[in-house]
Amino acid sequence: MKRDRHGKAKILSHEEIQLLFTHGLKTTRDRTIFATALFTAARINEVVTLLSADIYDVKGQVRSPTAGGYAITPHDPQGQYQG
């Protein structure tokens, strides 16, 4: 987050991020948007304009960026994929 729109962005500490998730971000929607931006280094505007097709292919598998384009990785909500 930039201060007064000038200079370098402030890097949030682990404690500040924890406070945001426990006290600052009230809804699941807000926590999801912020977490996606945090872990992908995307801007909030980029996150909120994502479409399902940007994340999932037609088979329901998660797309992951690679050097040559996109590779398909299995989507496993139960965490059972052994790769």
Please give the average pLDDT of every successive group of 10 residues along the chain, which has 83 residues.
Answer: 65 90 92 87 86 77 59 52 46
Range of the structural domain that residue 74 is part of: 52-83
Nearest alpha carbon to residue 36 among 53, 22, 55: 55
Q: Which two tokens stand for residue 60?
A: 């329901």
Same domain, residue pair 12 and 36:
yes
Identify the pLDDT of residue 19: 93
pLDDT of residue 71: 52
pLDDT of res. 41 = 82
Q: Which residue has the tokens 């948007």?
A: 33
Nearest Cα to Cα of residue 32 among 83, 66, 42: 42
Instruction: Clarify whether residues 41 and 74 are in a common domain.
Output: no
Q: Give the pLDDT confidence score for residue 83 in this predicted structure.
A: 44
Chain-centroid distance of CA 77 in Å reads 16
Please tell me whether residues 45 and 56 are part of one structural domain.
no
> How confident is the model at residue 40, as a pLDDT?
81
**How far apart are alpha carbons 8 and 6 in whole angstroms?**
7
